Structure 1
Amino acid sequence: MAEHNHSWSNAIFVDGQFRPPAAGGGTLAVHDKSSDEVLGVAGSAGIADVDAAVASSVIAQRAWAALPHSQRAAVLRRVAAALEHADGFRELIMRETGSIAGKADYEIASAVGELTEAASLASRPVGEVLQTGHEGRFSVSERVPVGLVGVITPWNFPLVLGMRVIAPALALGNAVLLKPSPETPVSGGLAIGELFERAGAPAGIFQVLPGGEEIGRRLVEHPDVAMIHFTGSTTVGREIARTAGSLLKKTSLELGGNNALIVLNDADIDQAAMIGAWSSFHYQGQTCISAGRHIVDRSVAEAYLRNLADRAAAITVGNPFRDGTGLGPIINNAQLKRAKGLLDEAVAGGARILTGGTSEGRFFRPTVVVDVHPAAALWTEEIFAPIAPVAVVDGADQAVALANDTRYGLVSSVVGTDVHRATEVARRLDCAMVHVNDATPQDEPLAPFGGTGHSGLGGRAGGDSNLEEFTERRWRTVTGSPVHYPY
């Protein structure tokens, strides 16, 4: 993967092409997260690049929105085809995010699905005729594009979490400026630009501006960016909400989670432990929809803990390119330090580690821990590491109360053989998404994805929810001849 082989080397993607950043920009080293090998050097945008890109996007968006829906849909289908046949995208995701092949394959397939569904979104009805009390008046509520959407994405699922916003926003006639995480400037940004270039997308409707906090801040503050969509931590989301709110700017925030997995007393323990292991350890636990709290009925707790610990101990941790590897590295040293700190604090407060808790470099063993104090940060905060804290409760009522004792409201799961009972427990949970007899990490292009409380602000992504997310309602009336008024 020599640097000179990449169109994105030392470049940003603006006006339909790759070019070096303007004065004030710079570069970003692109690292293999398992080996720390430098894969190449991407461009890093400066403030001047943001301002120039905004100006060209505003012009391009008007022409893009005026196109027939079939032409917008055709562009998205060509991008989907380019992704399906893109050489090296799987390897790029694996290297840049430290994920195993299965996770990379999921990202690609899911991103293709997002593009395909968005292409169909372009032809959805965008208005409705309203009743009116005025004779001779035609009254309609119509949906119009928001305009220019600034998208700030995280490093954990950079391709699909970007495409989940990019594709529907474009389908509905908006333009998009994307700022990917500095950890994943290529798989989360510049390589997506290559797809749009290959698909012959009109210049300016989609642009990629890798960079640091100052680039994200400028996107949020720029008066011509009509909407900000941010996926990331609650701490940063709160800052964005504060700034965007003062500007009265439309904002959608998909933030963190402290998600509960409830195991009822009639659960099949082997199945429950399998669901629990996947919920907490999948992609090193580095997803907002990972299970950060396992809440287990006392009557089955011993068996569940034993099974979950056995599954954790059997997972191979190492280089994702080696056969049989189940987990790769933690994304960076800062995240590793935070995870260890959360675990050490919990142990100092009386928690017991049943398995794991160790690391070699950034390769962190999947960990099962019990007796965590309910006030410990390991229990109350998002973990973002392969750690499964388990609490034991007496009955479903206590389980529901403990699950709801959080500021977050993203996702929960309930496991039990009596589906009716498990569903009734699920209905009592205060979160935006809930799954019965399945893992917490779930996402589909047609499903309304999002959170409440500290897990999100704004609408939902997915299916018809995207119509609300990326359009504004406009009331329009037409009267056959001018209406006369007293003055």
Structure 2
Amino acid sequence: MRRAADLWTQYFEDVQYWLIHEAGGVRLKAKTELTAAIRECHEAAALPSHALGEVIPSETSQLSMTVHPPVGVVGVIAPFNMPLWLSIRSVAPALALGNAVILKPDPRTPVSGGIVLARIFEEAGLPAGLLHVLPGGGDIGSAMVSHAGVRAVSFTGSTQAGRAVGEIAARHFTRAHLELGGNNALIVLGDVDLGRAMSAIAFGSFFNQGQGCVIIGRHLVHESIYDEYATRLAAYASELVVGNPESEKVALGPIIDAKQRDRIHSLVLSSVAAGARLLTGGIYDGLFYRPTVLADAGPGIPAYDNEVFGPVACVTPFSTSEEAVALAADTEFGLALGIFTADVAAGLSIAQRIPTGMAHVNNQTLMDEAHAPFGGMGASGTSARFGSAAENIAAYTDTRWITVNSQVPSYPF
């Protein structure tokens, strides 16, 4: 794992090329993924010494203990939007804990989400046969999940696909770790310094063209600053450069394909037809979609009610904290939450009342660290199954109870 981390650094430019040209990420996004890959390998390197069993009490004189052997074969199904990052965060810990891995990258990103991992780990010295890359579509994923030899599956993708994976896994008693979609809310109280906050807000809304499960979709803003907020966000979005992702000056690159672009545009058009006000964006050139801000876009507006997976920010006002909590919680998703306020205690109080897997006070929702638990509730997945040592050990090892007696005990039989 440590050699792999060094190799990500050595081949930084080569892998960055693929993340830009295959996945359409800008340079900042490619660098972010590669940095994450290095950190994931460093964290995974320490995992074997953390998979500790324990000696537990017994009612008799026997030795009673638990151990954590590897599950055997782990299937990893990864998406296109962060192909390297969302592959390696499962591949590295699964390998480090003694498993073999079959990795199915998205068919749109088979190199940056699959082949580069195989080459890096091969050169790092991973024994042959422990990591296989199996590109393909949903049929390949279904075959993997239903195969008797696969004991656990780590899936990152849409809620719809995740439900299908979970159903197949349940029929075959395969352990399924599902990290799914999100329609994340950012709650902005009236005491916020908007000049200081706007950069973080725009980053959390438009990074990677909005193609991310932890992107801010719903901006819930106190009525006292609502007009100023919507105006500032629209002005900020209108200045962001969209174009060739190889350029250092570009903030947004292309949408992954025309199908996804058309879905984004359809949600924007139907939202305007439903009463939302288009403040900026709502247009595209080829696969390049302008960052879009919709005001008066609350419940009942399609782009507000659905995960857009594109650079679209829906802004709606609230009058009280209770109303903000109700709006934020009124969704099937429960992935990430952001709260901006000068009153940290008030922010923490709000965070504790909204059921999400992750909540960040005075930060945007697009947060991830290799050692921190990551996951959602409800339609966003099966809780935290990534990140921390405890979660990775629970995901990729079994827990066995073993007892040892010095001689065979007597029974009343």
Shorter-chain TM-score category?
over 0.9
Report the equivalent of 1:476. Answer: 402
Contact 1:152–1:231 (CA under 8 A) maintained in structure 2: yes
Mapping of 1:302-341 within 5 angstroms? 302-341=227-266
Distance in 2, Cα, partners of 1:319 & 1:435: 32
Contact 2:27–2:248 (CA under 8 A) maintained in structure 1: no
Distance in 1, Cα, partners of 2:180 & 2:3: 31
Contact 1:459–1:468 (CA under 8 A) maintained in structure 2: no
Contact 1:97–1:155 (CA under 8 A) maintained in structure 2: yes
2:193 is aligned with 1:268:
yes
Report the equivalent of 2:33. Answer: 107
Measured against aligned partners, the alpha-carbon deviations of 1:386-409 in whole angstroms (never above 9, x if no partner) come to: 000001110211111100000000
In the comparison of the two structures, how many residue pairs are matched?
Answer: 411
**Cα distance, 1:125 vs. partner?**
4.3
Query: SS at the partner of 1:445?
Result: coil
Contact 2:51–2:393 (CA under 8 A) maintained in structure 1: no
Distance in 1, Cα, partners of 2:228 & 2:383: 41
Letter aligned with residue 252 of structure 1? H
2:92 is aligned with 1:92:
no
The percent identity for this pair of structures is: 44
Report the equivalent of 2:123. Answer: 198
Contact 1:164–1:462 (CA under 8 A) maintained in structure 2: yes
**Cα distance, 1:324 vs. partner?**
1.0
Letter aligned with residue 477 of structure 1? T
Report the equivalent of 1:240. Answer: 165
Distance in 2, Cα, partners of 1:330 & 1:422: 34
Report the equivalent of 2:98. Answer: 173
Letter aligned with residue 388 of structure 1? A
**Cα distance, 1:339 vs. partner?**
0.2
**Cα distance, 1:460 vs. partner?**
1.9
Letter aligned with residue 351 of structure 2? A
The correspondence for 2:334, drawn from 398, 401, 409, is 409
Contact 1:316–1:324 (CA under 8 A) maintained in structure 2: yes
Mapping of 1:332-411 within 5 angstroms? 332-411=257-336
Distance in 1, Cα, partners of 2:174 & 2:301: 36
Query: SS at the partner of 1:97?
Result: coil
Contact 1:151–1:177 (CA under 8 A) maintained in structure 2: yes
Query: SS at the partner of 1:345?
Result: helix
Contact 2:70–2:397 (CA under 8 A) maintained in structure 1: yes
Letter aligned with residue 154 of structure 2? H
2:58 is aligned with 1:132:
yes
**Cα distance, 1:84 vs. partner?**
1.2
- Structure with more contact order per residue of length (Cα contacts < 8 Å, sep ≥ 6): 2
Contact 1:139–1:478 (CA under 8 A) maintained in structure 2: yes
Measured against aligned partners, the alpha-carbon deviations of 1:251-274 in whole angstroms (never above 9, x if no partner) come to: 100000000000001111123322
Unaligned runs of 5+ in 1: 1-75
2:332 is aligned with 1:443:
no
Distance in 2, Cα, partners of 1:125 & 1:143: 6
Query: SS at the partner of 1:109?
Result: helix
**Cα distance, 1:176 vs. partner?**
0.4
Distance in 1, Cα, partners of 2:104 & 2:124: 21
Mapping of 1:29-44 within 5 angstroms? none
Query: SS at the partner of 1:306?
Result: helix
**Cα distance, 1:459 vs. partner?**
4.3
Distance in 2, Cα, partners of 1:398 & 1:448: 29
Contact 2:375–2:381 (CA under 8 A) maintained in structure 1: yes
Distance in 2, Cα, partners of 1:268 & 1:204: 54
Letter aligned with residue 281 of structure 2? G
Contact 1:149–1:227 (CA under 8 A) maintained in structure 2: yes
Distance in 2, Cα, partners of 1:324 & 1:109: 20
Query: SS at the partner of 1:150?
Result: strand
Measured against aligned partners, the alpha-carbon deviations of 1:424-458 in whole angstroms (never above 9, x if no partner) come to: 11221110100011111000011100000000025
Letter aligned with residue 104 of structure 1? A
Letter aligned with residue 344 of structure 1? L
Moved more, 106-115 or 450-459: 450-459
Distance in 2, Cα, partners of 1:384 & 1:144: 38
Query: SS at the partner of 2:64?
Result: strand
**Cα distance, 1:102 vs. partner?**
0.9
Letter aligned with residue 280 of structure 1? S
The correspondence for 1:162, drawn from 68, 77, 87, is 87
Distance in 2, Cα, partners of 1:323 & 1:459: 34
Distance in 2, Cα, partners of 1:200 & 1:172: 16
Measured against aligned partners, the alpha-carbon deviations of 1:304-340 in whole angstroms (never above 9, x if no partner) come to: 1111111101100000112411100111000000001
Report the equivalent of 1:80. Answer: 5
The correspondence for 1:116, drawn from 39, 42, 45, is 42
Letter aligned with residue 399 of structure 1? A
Measured against aligned partners, the alpha-carbon deviations of 1:353-385 in whole angstroms (never above 9, x if no partner) come to: 001111111101101101225123311111111
**Cα distance, 1:475 vs. partner?**
0.3
Letter aligned with residue 119 of structure 1? A
Query: SS at the partner of 1:293?
Result: strand
Report the equivalent of 2:386. Answer: 461
Contact 2:192–2:341 (CA under 8 A) maintained in structure 1: yes
The correspondence for 1:182, drawn from 104, 107, 112, is 107
Contact 1:346–1:373 (CA under 8 A) maintained in structure 2: no
Letter aligned with residue 289 of structure 1? V
Report the equivalent of 2:75. Answer: 150
TM superposition outliers: structure 1 runs of 4+ over 4 Å: none
Report the equivalent of 2:222. Answer: 297
Query: SS at the partner of 1:184?
Result: coil
Contact 1:153–1:231 (CA under 8 A) maintained in structure 2: yes
Letter aligned with residue 461 of structure 1? F
Measured against aligned partners, the alpha-carbon deviations of 1:260-296 in whole angstroms (never above 9, x if no partner) come to: 0000011111233222211110110000000010000
Distance in 1, Cα, partners of 2:218 & 2:386: 25
Contact 1:447–1:462 (CA under 8 A) maintained in structure 2: yes
